Amino acid sequence: MAQITTIPTAILLGTRAGASGLRRLLALACAALALRGLIFATFESPVILVAAQVLDGVATGIWDILLPLILSDFVTGSGRYSTSRGALDTVQGLGGSLSNAAGGAMVLAGGYDAAFALLALFAAVAFILAVCLPSPHAIKVSRIASGVR
C-alpha cells in the first residue's frame, strides 16, 4: 500500500513543492510518520493498519521530492551538491541498515506496540526539528546574495 501511494504523492508534489514551502512539507512528512507509528501501536484491525500504510507512502513521496530540493537550497553556490548528496545518502544507508537491528531490539525489549510508539516519538521529534529548521529558500537567497562558496 505504501509503494502505491508513494509514486502519486511524489508526482503531485513535484509540480507544487516550491509553492507549498519546503519546510512545511517536511514537517507534514514527519507528522504523517508520527501518526502512522501511533496507529500501528494502538490498533490491531487489519483494515486500519493497511490504511495507515498510506501515511507511510505519503511521507516517503514527500521525502523523496524534498531531499534534493532542500539540500540544493542549503548548498547553493558552494559547488558541493554531489558531495553533500553522497554524504546524506551514506547516512541514510547506514540508518536503513541499522534500523532492522534497532527495530528488532525494540520489539524484543518491549513488543511491537512499544517499538511503534518509540518510532512515533522519533518522528515527532523530527517534526519539531523540521518546524524549527530555517527556511531553505531564505538560506538559498542569503547564500546567493552574499556570494558564499
pLDDT in tens, 45-97: 999 999 889 988 999 899 888 888 888 888 888 889 999 999 999 998 998 89
Q: Where are any strands of DSSP class E within the chain?
A: none
Residue 85: strand, helix, or coil: helix
pTM score, whole prediction: 0.81
148 pLDDT more than 70: no
- Domains along the chain? 2-146 (1.20.1250.20)
Q: What are phi and psi of 79, to 5 degrees?
A: 75, 15
Average pLDDT (114-141) is 89
Round to whole Å and give the CA distance between 137 and 1.
33
pLDDT of 99 higher than 80: yes
Contact in structure between 26 and 66 (CB atoms under 8 Å): yes
Burial 76-92 (b: 16+ CB within 10 A, else e): beeeeeeeeeeeeeeee
Say if residue 1's pLDDT is above 80: no
Identify the three-state secondary structure at position 109.
helix
Q: What is the pLDDT of residue 83?
A: 95
Answer whether residue 137 shows pLDDT above 80: no
**pLDDT band for position 141 (50/70/90)?**
confident
Q: What is the pLDDT of residue 74?
A: 84
- Residues, the chain: 149
Q: Is the pLDDT of residue 131 over 70?
A: yes
CA distance 72 to 139: 10
Q: Is the pLDDT reported for residue 19 higher than 70?
A: no
